[in-house]
Structure 1
Amino acid sequence: MSTKNIVLFGETGAGKSSVVNLMAGEEVAETSPDMQRSTLTWKKYPIAFGGYNYNVFDTIGLEEPQLGIDEYLEAIVNARNLITKLDNEGGIDLLLFCVRAGRVSATLQNNYRLFYEWLCEKKVPILLVLTGLEREQNMEDWWTRNKDTFAKYGISVHGHACITAANKLDGRHQQLYQLSRQLVRNLVKEFTHESLGGGFKGGNGWIKRFMGKLRELFSGPSMGKKDMVTVLTKRCGMPPEAAVRLAKEVRKDLRR
């Protein structure tokens, strides 16, 4: 039976490592709050449950405005490198978007667009894992109250789980933790082993397709640098600094 590849992404502090441990049923990922952002890359965690095997890739998400422009672009490059790596390992079967329940922001939207729209071209199932809900009487109530806000930001997912990834709590909280494990595992199984189709592979033509999309956006005869920046920030969700740099490179390419 094939091992399914899951890419887990989201901002620092969203509880990604805790979600890995939740799924695994044991402490396989370090969750220290003092862990520093030492490298913009990923960590691979082989886990198994329900008779199935998974490789979970915990990635570094976008952290605007904490990240500088160079780090922002490097995060994009590293995310793309992961997809390239997985091309030879069965592709990507599932995206898990880890979000700490709270304010929905443009940064969340940027992360969603980077992984789901830009890099995976909307061809991979994406699930929203909402953490930090141990204080809710009914964890699902949070989604009922806030789902319209996600829709407002254009964040559309195939499924969601309202959970707590905080272990070592007692009483009712431990019951919620066990419930959370089952919710996440059921969703993962549903959208990997119970779904049709293989993993997404970007392939060698990904960069060409991406640049082709940019050319289509910028093909108008009166399209100036300022207009390009507007397209990148409004339609692609890029921070202004990254949009300015990319617009400059695209203009050079269009002159060739």
Structure 2
Amino acid sequence: MSQTIRVLVFGTTGTGKTSLCNALTGENQKVSNDALGVTFKSYTYEEVEISEGKSLIITDTVGLNESARGSVPSRDAVKALIKLLQDSKEGYNLLIQSFRIPRITQAEENNYEFFVKTISGSKIPTILVASGCENLEPMSKWKEENGNTFERMGLEYKDIICSCFASGGRLASVYDELRDESRQAVIEAIEAYATVEPVKLYTTMESFMILLKRSWNWLAGWLGVDKLMFQLNEPLIQLLIRIGFSREEATLLLGEVGVPTSK
């Protein structure tokens, strides 16, 4: 019996998410330099076999970029959040946070808080893939020296994989070897820590709305628009109108995701 493992990869721009996903899937998606943040722009790769009886479906999504905090229009943010949750209806077996050494920033904490705790409710195992370790021998040295720092910050990972997914240039042959080593290490971690069945983020429209309200209220606080948080028993369409959507726009958006306008 085969197993399909669904993985969500998140992290700030420039941490190597797309390079990681390309290496795992064999695709060649363009690496984005978009630093706008809170777009949740995502791409789901074609399913690929990673070992006998196991295949992988990866969704690569843009995380929270600290430089964009407070500058992203609320209309864009709430629309993107609704789409992200809709695209996640099948659930995930594993979360991967992408991080680039050496400095652990506030962005890592915010992304962990939003994706791991707020959206998944800490129900989905998470690993950290630390890129930029090509100058260390062995690459795992960074984990040995810095792994405890994440624990002290309350960031709990099943494992930390030190990696290099760089390519090209004068060190192309060296990068190729390190990239193959990193790919194998990440695949082994995926197989070791992924749940047997995908963990669904929601199963009914009621649970979808609970998750959406919880996620939006966290995000609204991060964006600095506390006044636009969900009010008690407020219908979603009313929130969208408060944020700046016309009633027609709000009705159309809710229809696209299958949410009754009374919700």
Other-structure match for 1:83: 85
Other-structure match for 1:179: 181
Other-structure match for 2:111: 111
> Which of 182, 200, 222 in structure 2 is aligned with 1:239?
222
Q: State the SS of the aligned residue for 1:208.
A: helix
The 10-residue stretch of structure 1 (78-87 or 145-154) with the greater mean CA deviation from structure 2: 78-87
Matched-pair contact (CA < 8 Å) for 1:80–1:119: no
Distance 1:158 1:74, change over 3 A: farther
Other-structure match for 1:57: 59
Give the distance between the partners of 2:62 and 2:213, measured in 1 at CA.
24
Give the distance between the partners of 1:167 and 1:144, measured in 2 at CA.
25
Give the distance between the partners of 2:130 and 2:215, measured in 1 at CA.
32
Q: Deviations over 1:65-124 (max 9, x none)?
A: 23444357845653553333332xx32111110001121111111101111100011111
Alignment of 1:112-151 (within 5 A): 112-151=112-151
Alignment of 1:223-238 (within 5 A): 238=221
Matched-pair contact (CA < 8 Å) for 1:76–1:114: no
Distance 1:84 1:190, change over 3 A: same
Q: Name the Cα RMSD after superposition.
A: 3.2
Unaligned runs of 5+ in 2: 235-263
Q: Deviations over 1:17-64 (max 9, x none)?
A: 10012212x34321265x676954211112422133222111011012
Give the AA of the match of 1:131. S
Give the AA of the match of 1:111. N
Give the distance between the partners of 1:72 and 1:112, measured in 2 at CA.
21
- TM-score normalised to structure 1 length: 0.74
> Which of 190, 195, 201 in structure 1 is aligned with 2:192?
190
Q: Deviations over 1:118-139 (max 9, x none)?
A: 0011111111000011011111
Percent of aligned pairs sharing the same letter: 23
Distance 1:72 1:139, change over 3 A: farther
Alignment of 1:3-82 (within 5 A): 3-24=4-25, 26-31=26-31, 33=33, 40-48=40-48, 49-51=50-52, 52-71=54-73, 74-75=76-77, 78-79=80-81, 81-82=83-84
Other-structure match for 1:221: none
Matched-pair contact (CA < 8 Å) for 2:130–2:160: yes
Distance 1:200 1:212, change over 3 A: closer
Unaligned runs of 5+ in 1: 215-228
Give the AA of the match of 2:23. L
Give the distance between the partners of 1:23 and 1:197, measured in 2 at CA.
20
Distance 1:107 1:250, change over 3 A: farther
